[in-house]
């Protein structure tokens, strides 16, 4: 098969992934409020897509020498394809959102606007505006002789057309920023068991006559607008400033990035649109979209909670771990055997409890950890600070370049530099550290004993309840010794380290996995059993795809479970290649790779997707799973995901993105079945 037939453009396949998110909002078997959240996720994803991917295309078109974009073909053609696809998806989004709100009315949940308020609700909003809203509004009168105000990234504005009813030709324009420091949706006083909710911008519309009362107008028409800006930034090569200092400057530059998308209310008068386009210098913006009255559906993620259980997923409380006891030392238990924490089915408390125990254990001498995305009030960082205050040597790599989390990570860096016994390390210059690692060392007698954590996702309690991830807890010296060597590499900035057990990017992840693919090909060509299973977030790297296609042609059965971008085109004539994606209540984030290996399966888990950046330009770690019990657990995990018929989508050409839901009783739902599986393990152990 030719390379062009085997590979599909990454940007278009990302839009296919986001379409699957949108399809979840259309799935009538999912509770209504959860479907509304999927619309919010779709919108949030699309904003980031424009800021990052379309922003990169925009840069490459303007300055291809300094901002080349590999593997994307003709960029102008690609941009047209993106716009066509986004328009199609936006039309579906509008339709499903309208439908969902119609369905919510059946449960006495009703959206209202400034025209449909009762007297009681108007009185409530009078008080709301006076006490909460007014102090957050800063209207700007637009003057053709003055510079146009700066429009913030993905921030809603009301563009206001003010005029007098008896003299429409006498008018002015103004802008009012919809404050993102306030809830987007305002709950109103209701009667008869009804829940009435109004958009914040409609409250502002209601109060425009008061906001502009000093002006001689009696008519105010307001239209929402939103700009998405290029979300990338440049880091200079200067050596006189630290990465922290360069990032501080670059993040400020990003907030002022070029506009890559302008969305406006299609009912806006043409004279007003032309004025905004000219004065805001939007004529160079490559994507301009006429939308509806409301934008930023991402805010549906924070839609008011209504106490009607049937509108939400049934609660699945995280479970105690089936092989770990609260009654004994976690460090001692991990030294006896490996354990696998699978989130969000297991409690994330295990990670925090382990760090807290290490902070208090007299035999613990040091804790080392890599962090990528951390919340504003991180229990992990607080546990590490406590350990440092208890005299432990804490070594921490905190990735400053975690996209869109740079500012939080920089704030933590400022705080941690003031902590004694915390050694903040800078890693390898020019490389993000995306690996998820922790290493606890204690001295028992004259022996050093180590316990390690290797994860597929961030050490972040906020996402631990929303993302499906694995964390391997191990004291296997083959693994902990090499993890210690990896931290040495990060501390020194570089070191001559060789890894026999860990698979580490950028050193040999690509080479090692290609070797294992070829080994399966040899087995298949010899008429022996073979097989490869990949459960990843993204499969994009062209070289890896090329080797998978060759393996399939050699007779190797390949199973792909790719949640996000899958650039490998699965054709019907490829009998040994099958693929699906799963979108359900939890974000599938685990990265697990399995090779048949002549009947002695090899399992790996860790942080690396099969993308060029993860294989070649980041520090990533995939760890072999040696425990037979955990291998069996992973096999159940992979099997349940493959057998899912509730929330899975085909990745095969001809039926691409087709939902595999059967609609029959006894349908298999992986995320629900896994919860029951871990419940059953807990019952067996107890």
Please, what's the b/e burial string for 431-450 (b: 16 or more CB within 10 A of its CB; e: otherwise)? Answer: bbbbbbbbbbbbeeeeeebb
- d(C-alpha 285, C-alpha 282), whole Å: 5
Phi/psi at 179 (5° precision) = -65, 125
Reduced to 3 states (helix: H, G, I; strand: E, B; else coil), residue 303 is: coil
Buried b (16+ CB within 10 A) or exposed e, 356-372: bbbbebeebebbbbbbb
Catalytic position from the list 434, 470, 589, 596: 434
- Reduce the DSSP state of residue 112 to 3 states and report it: strand
3-state DSSP assignment of residue 389:
helix
Phi then psi for 134, rounded to 5 degrees?
A: -55, -40
* CA 431/CA 433 separation, integer angstroms: 6
CA 342/CA 625 separation, integer angstroms: 14
- Asked if 559 contacts 578 with a C-beta cutoff of 8 angstroms, the reply is yes
- The residues near 524 (Cβ < 8 Å, ≥ 6 apart) are 530, 551, 554, 555, 556
Q: Which residue has the tokens 């790599």?
A: 397
Dist CA 29 CA 646 (whole Å): 9
Residue 315 Ramachandran class (φ > 0 left, ψ -120 to 50 alpha, else beta): beta
Token couple for 182: 């306030």
Cβ contact 660:650 at 8 Å: yes
Strands laid side by side in the 185-188 sheet: 109-112, 195-199, 185-188
In a 3-state reduction of DSSP, which class is residue 157?
strand
Token readout for 55 is 């922003």
Helix (H) or strand (E) holding 169: strand 167-177
Helix axes 10-26, 75-105, angle to 10 degrees: 10
Tell me how far apart the alpha carbons of residues 654 and 634 are, in angstroms, rounded to a whole number.
31
Instruction: Report yes or no: 401 and 432 within 8 Å, Cβ to Cβ.
Output: yes
The closest alpha carbon to 504, from 431, 412, 571, belongs to 431
Tokens of 675: 């919860």
Task: Tell me the two tokens of residue 339.
Answer: 């354990």
CA dist., res. 25 & res. 35, Å (int): 4
Alpha helices in 289-373 (DSSP H): 330-336, 349-360
Q: Under a CB-based contact definition with an 8 Å cutoff, are residues 280 and 252 in contact?
A: no
Contact 8, 569 (CB under 8 A): yes
Cα–Cα distance list, 353 to 339, 344, 349, 380, 462 (Å)? 15, 16, 6, 10, 16
Based on the residue annotation, tell me whether 571 is a catalytic residue of this protein: no
φ, ψ of residue 246 to 5 degrees: the values are -65, -40
Active site residues: 434
């Amino acid at each position: 098969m030719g390379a062009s037939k085997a590979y599909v453009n990454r940007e278009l396949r990302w839009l296919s992934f986001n379409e699957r998110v949108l399809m979840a909002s259309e799935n009538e078997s999912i509770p209504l409020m959860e479907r509304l959240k999927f619309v919010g996720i779709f919108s949030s994803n699309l904003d980031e897509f424009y800021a990052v991917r379309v922003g990169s295309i925009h840069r490459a078109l303007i300055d291809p020498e300094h901002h080349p974009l590999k593997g994307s073909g003709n960029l102008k053609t690609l941009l047209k394809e993106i716009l066509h696809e986004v328009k199609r998806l936006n039309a579906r989004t509008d339709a499903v959102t309208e439908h969902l709100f119609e369905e919510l009315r059946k449960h006495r949940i009703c959206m209202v606007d400034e025209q449909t308020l009762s007297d009681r609700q108007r009185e409530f909003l009078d008080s709301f505006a006076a006490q909460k809203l007014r102090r957050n509004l800063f209207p700007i009168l637009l003057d053709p002789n003055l510079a146009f105000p700066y429009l913030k990234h993905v921030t809603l504005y009301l563009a206001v057309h003010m005029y007098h009813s008896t003299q429409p030709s006498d008018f002015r324009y103004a802008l009012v920023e919809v404050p993102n420091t306030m809830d987007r949706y305002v709950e109103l006083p209701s009667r008869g068991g009804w829940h009435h909710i109004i958009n914040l911008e409609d409250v502002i519309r209601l109060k425009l006559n008061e906001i502009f009362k000093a002006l001689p107008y009696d008519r105010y028409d307001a239209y929402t607008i939103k700009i998405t800006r290029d979300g990338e930034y440049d880091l200079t090569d200067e050596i006189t400033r630290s990465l922290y200092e360069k990032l501080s400057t670059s993040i400020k530059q990003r907030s002022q990035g070029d506009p890559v998308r302008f969305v406006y209310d299609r009912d806006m008068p043409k004279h007003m649109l032309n004025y905004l386009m000219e004065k805001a210098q939007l004529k160079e913006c490559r994507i301009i979209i006429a939308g509806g009255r409301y934008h930023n559906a991402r805010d549906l993620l924070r839609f008011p909670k209504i106490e009607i259980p049937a509108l939400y997923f049934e609660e699945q409380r995280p479970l105690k771990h089936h092989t770990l006891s609260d009654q004994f030392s976690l460090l001692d238990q991990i030294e006896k055997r490996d354990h696998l924490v699978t989130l969000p089915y297991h409690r994330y408390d295990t990670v925090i409890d382990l760090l807290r125990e290490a902070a208090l254990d007299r035999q613990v001498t040091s804790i080392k950890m890599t962090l990528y995305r951390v919340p504003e009030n991180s229990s992990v960082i607080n546990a590490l600070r406590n350990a440092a205050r208890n005299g432990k040597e804490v070594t921490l790599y905190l990735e400053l370049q975690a996209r869109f989390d740079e500012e939080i990570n920089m704030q933590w860096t400022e705080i941690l530099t003031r902590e004694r016994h915390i050694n903040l390390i800078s890693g390898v210059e020019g490389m993000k550290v995306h690996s998820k690692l922790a290493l606890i060392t204690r001295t028992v007698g004259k022996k050093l004993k180590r316990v390690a954590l290797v994860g597929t996702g961030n050490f972040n309690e906020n996402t631990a309840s929303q993302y499906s991830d694995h964390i391997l807890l191990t004291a296997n010296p083959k693994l902990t010794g090499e993890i210690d060597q990896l931290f040495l590499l990060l501390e020194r900035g570089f070191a001559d380290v060789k890894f026999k057990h860990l698979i580490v990017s950028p050193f040999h992840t690509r080479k090692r996995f290609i070797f294992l693919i070829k080994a399966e090909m040899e087995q298949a060509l010899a008429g022996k059993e073979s097989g490869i299973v990949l459960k990843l977030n993204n499969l994009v790297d062209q070289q890896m795809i090329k080797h998978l296609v060759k393996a399939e042609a050699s007779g190797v059965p390949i199973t792909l479970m790719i949640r996000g971008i899958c650039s490998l085109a699965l054709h019907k004539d490829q009998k040994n290649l099958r693929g699906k994606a799963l979108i359900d209540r939890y974000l599938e984030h685990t990265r697990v790779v399995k090779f048949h290996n002549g009947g002695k399966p090899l399992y790996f888990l860790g942080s690396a997707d099969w993308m060029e950046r993860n294989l070649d330009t980041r520090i990533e770690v995939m760890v072999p799973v040696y425990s037979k019990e955990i291998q069996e657990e992973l096999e159940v995990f992979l099997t349940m995901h493959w057998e899912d018929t509730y929330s899975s989508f085909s990745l095969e050409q001809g039926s691409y993105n087709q939902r595999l839901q059967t609609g029959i009783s006894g349908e298999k739902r992986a995320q629900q079945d896994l919860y029951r599986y871990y419940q059953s393990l807990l019952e067996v152990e107890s």
